[in-house]
Amino acid sequence: MSDLSQYEKDMIIDCLASELEAVEEHRGSLGENVANVRKEEINNIIGKLDDGIGWVDTRGKVDDLLNRHAEEVLKTAESMFHSGAVDVGSYRGTDWGLAKVLTTAALERHCGDFYPRNMDGERLFIKDIKNLMHF
């Protein structure tokens, strides 16, 4: 595979990403075990092509982080709802207002949960995170 250009690797990765979507769409007819094995095989090939730093592999990791932390954010939003810190009745007629306020507050409370840290608990890559906030 080393004689492939980055463009060729990206094309293959895009095709494999489409295959991942197709496997997920047909999970019911394939069966849970077959679909999971197939997805793992495809992800392993993608990992070899993008060296673990391409978007497809990284997207899967981002998705995993979001899924793992979503329940905590939801619990925090519920706790905030019941805290009495805001008059929830004042949000009548605002449609999504209260949900957006609770979600924003809960996400802000948990934003530090995602920071990469070293063994001493010090935050890493702060400069990169700040740079990305401009895009």
* Residues 40, 42, 44, 50, CA torsion sign: negative
Q: Does residue 57 carry a pLDDT above 50?
A: yes
- Angle, to 10 degrees, between the axis of helix 55-82 and the axis of helix 32-50? 120
pLDDT in tens, 26-38: 989 999 899 889 9
Q: Which two tokens stand for residue 6?
A: 């980055």
Q: How far is CA 87 from CA 82, 93, 98, in A?
A: 10, 13, 10
Q: Which two tokens stand for residue 96?
A: 């999504």
Q: How far is CA 77 from CA 97, 109, 118, in A?
A: 13, 10, 29
Question: Which residues 6+ apart lie within 8 Å of 1 measured at CB?
Answer: 9, 48, 49
Q: How many angstroms separate the CA atoms of 85 and 78, rounded?
A: 12
> What is the chain's mean pLDDT, rounded?
87
pLDDT in tens, 72-111: 999 999 999 999 999 999 998 888 999 999 999 999 999 8
